[in-house]
Amino acid sequence: QVQLVQSGSELKKPGASVKVSCKASGYTFTNDALNWVRQAPGQGLEWMGWINTYTGNPTYAQGFTGRFVFSLDTSVSTAYLQISSLEAEDTAVYYCAREDQTCTSSDCYPNYFYPWGQGTLVIVSS
Amino acid sequence: EIVMTQSPATLSVSPGERATLSCRASQSININLAWYQQKPGQAPRLLIYGASTRATGIPAGFSGSGSGTEFTLTISSLQSEDFAVYYCHQYNNWPHTFGRGTKLEIK
């Protein structure tokens, strides 16, 4: 079955970096986009952006530029989210989610998210 | 960006009763709307896409309706496992945006 499995919880100090992984199985990894979604404690879902798993090109949502980097290792069907210069406000659960976009030669059109990874809790605390 | 407004923020319903959750978009999103269920400590689970199509394995008691800017998720007869937070998500335009959620609690 189609599945996304994320890496485990992380406890980091302010200023450090963290890299979260999301391993896909059950489908051709490079056929579908991979999104990242943040959920702060007790809050709703916030879209961080997506990465084109065929080209490796990332797109970042407003508010997620600079310290956030999406990357891939297609040889192991895995996507990564790296956050540098961690702040207490980065404490959240981070989810990856697959998106079956429709793409033309010039553009890609958004779609719903299915499935989601189980989430990775990142705690930033001194 | 398109703002998604869910109402109510909290809905108290007794088991066996019907629940109706609403989601409004700040501009037309056609039928490009999904609903997700999230239980504590779990990832969101896709319930509905295309405003009214149930995802694989979702019971018939869940139904979605609407188009344009007004959407509804109806749960016909609440079971104990249905008490959770529900989010709507528009995917008509970039960027993806979510509503702030409706918490469905036991009355």
Write the pLDDT tens digit of every residue in A43-55. Answer: 999 999 999 999 9
d(CA A69, CA A71): 7
Give dist(CA B91, CA A110) in Å, integer: 5
Question: Is A27 in CB contact (< 8 Å) with chain B?
Answer: no
Chain B residues whose C-beta is within 8 A of a chain A C-beta are 32, 34, 36, 42-46, 49-50, 55, 87, 89, 91-101
CB B87 within 8 A of CB B35: yes
Q: A106: burial class by Cβ within 10 Å (0-12, 13-18, 19+)? A: exposed
> Above pLDDT 70, what percent of chain A?
100
Rounded CA-CA distance B2/B30 in Å is 12
d(CA A112, CA A122): 25
Q: Report pLDDT for A13.
A: 98
Residue type for position B58: I
In the predicted model, is pLDDT for residue B89 greater than 90? yes
pLDDT band per the 50, 70, 90 thresholds, residue A118: very high
Q: How far is A114 from chain B (nearest CA, A)?
A: 6
With 90 as the cut, is the pLDDT of residue A107 above it? no
User: Is it the case that residue A108 has pLDDT exceeding 90?
Assistant: no
Of B43, B92, B94, the CB nearest to A95: B43
| Six-digit token string for A44 | 């709703």
- Sorted by sequence, the CB contacts under 8 Å of residue A99 that are 6+ apart come out as A32, A33, A34, A35, A50, A110, A111, A112, A113
pLDDT at A103: 84
Interface probe, candidates A2, A20, A45, A109, chain B, greatest B C-beta count within 10 A: A45
Average pLDDT, chain B: 97
**Which positions ≥6 away from A110 have C-beta within 8 Å?**
A99, A101, B32, B91, B92, B93, B94, B96
Is residue A99 predicted with pLDDT exceeding 90?
Answer: yes
CA distance B62 to A82: 37
pLDDT tens for B31-67 read 999 999 999 999 999 999 999 999 999 999 999 999 9
Please give the full DSSP string across B33-81, using - where no structure is assigned: EEEEEE-TTS--EEEEETTTEEPTT--TTEEEEEETTEEEEEESS--GG
Distances (CA, A) of A107 to A10, A52, A102, A113, B17: 36, 11, 8, 18, 45
Q: Above 90 in pLDDT, residue A22?
A: yes
- At A102 the pLDDT is 84
**Is-contact B99 B21, C-beta < 8 A?**
no
For residue A31, the model assigns a pLDDT of 93
DSSP state, residue A78: E
Chain B residues within an 8 Å CB radius of A47: 95-98
